[in-house]
Amino acid sequence: MRLEFVYLPVNDLEAALALYRDRLGFEEAWRAGETVGLVLPDTNVRLLLDLVAGDRSLTAGPFFLVESVDAFYAANKDLLRFVEEPRDISPGRFAVFEDTSGNRIRIMDRTASEEPPG
């Protein structure tokens, strides 16, 4: 498991890009609809900005890359509190569990693609 992104749900994508890209210097690496991946120059630090249009049920937090979401889920479904079971996303599979404090931890794999975006 390794940190892939810091997930940031935003209410206004253009305002968020004005801050993170234009003011703080993150580089836009890719865009898929209303989701933008940003990279801080000269680092492996990445942000995932996601337009949520006022949906406050989505919270900021880490996105971890695992080899297989389905295998991780099978090994941990009785040990962790999953709030979203595995499902397909464009690069592979995705699921969400909560830690002991209720923070949402997102996991993903790249089983549907060979190359990461950006």
> pLDDT class for 41, splitting at 50, 70, 90?
confident
Q: pLDDT tens, 65-101?
A: 999 999 999 999 999 999 999 999 888 999 999 999 8
What's the total number of domains in the chain? 1
User: Does residue 51 fall inside a structural domain?
Assistant: yes
The DSSP string of 73-107 is HHHHTTTSEEEEEEEEETTEEEEEEE-TTS-EEEE
User: Does residue 113 fall inside a structural domain?
Assistant: no
pLDDT higher than 60, residue 111: yes
Query: What is the arrangement of strands in the sheet containing 46-51, beginning at the earlier edge strand?
Result: 27-32, 35-39, 46-51, 2-10, 61-65, 104-108, 92-98, 81-89
> What CATH number has the domain bearing residue 50?
3.10.180.10
User: Does residue 65 fall inside a structural domain?
Assistant: yes
Give the range of the structural domain holding residue 82, as residue numbers without chain letter: 2-108
User: Does residue 8 fall inside a structural domain?
Assistant: yes
User: Does residue 86 fall inside a structural domain?
Assistant: yes
Query: Minimum mean pLDDT among 15-19, 26-30, 36-40, 109-113: which range?
Result: 109-113
pLDDT higher than 50, residue 39: yes
User: Does residue 118 fall inside a structural domain?
Assistant: no
Q: For residue 61, is it left (φ>0), alpha (ψ between -120 and 50) or beta?
A: left
pTM: predicted TM-score of the whole model, two decimal places? 0.78
